[in-house]
Amino acid sequence: MEFVHYTEYLLAKSGPTKVFRVRYNRMQFKCPKCGARRNFAIPQNLRRKNIQCHKCKQNTKCILDKRIHRRVSQSGKIDLILDNGQEIAANIIDISPTGIGVKIPLNAKKTQTLKIGERVTFRCSWNSRLLGHGRYVVKNINARQIGFEKNR
């Protein structure tokens, strides 16, 4: 195998990236190359793990999904409405019974006003029942991606 760049070599050596569900601090790894399965104990603070298959020796980057409810990919435009009445346009990334992930467009200038713990409501013009009338709390902010959790 011949590689043009060292980064291509590293990417080929590291193998594919897959998302695996973690339940009760355990995950079942299934090799994407040969299908071999193995169970692993996962520490609570771990979010990613590189695993080498015990049969074919394929390296796989594992992203560990510890959510209780699965998020479903969703797309569409919505408005975030802050407590002070300010509105921010956003795009839905994914949604679950307990939360929602959104991405703020590059042209939005008001993203600095959002803080973790802040309460917001959503307005969805194309499906008013999608998000209901509940309030959500900002759970995490990663650049332009924001995770919200339903306020209980």
pLDDT in tens, 32-80: 999 999 999 999 888 889 999 999 999 999 988 887 777 777 888 998 8
Report, as an integer, the average pLDDT of 98-102: 89
For the chain, domain boundaries: 6-65, 72-150
105: its two tokens: 């467009």
Report, as an integer, the average pLDDT of 137-148: 89
Q: How many CB atoms lie within 10 A of CB 149?
A: 14
Specify the pTM. Answer: 0.60
Q: How far apart are CA 40 and CA 36, in angstroms?
A: 13
Report, as an integer, the average pLDDT of 80-106: 88
pLDDT at 3: 47
* pLDDT > 90 fraction of the chain, expressed in percent and rounded: 34
Using pLDDT thresholds of 50, 70 and 90, give the confidence band for residue 14: low
Fold of 72-150: Thrombin, subunit H (2.40.10)
Nearest to 146 by CA among 112, 125, 134: 112
The larger pLDDT score, comparing residue 111 to residue 90, is at: 90
Given a cut of 70, is residue 109 above it in pLDDT? no
Report, as an integer, the average pLDDT of 93-103: 88
- Mean pLDDT, the chain, whole residue set: 83
Token look-up 């956003």 returns: 90
Pairing relation of β-strands 17-21 and 59-65? Answer: parallel
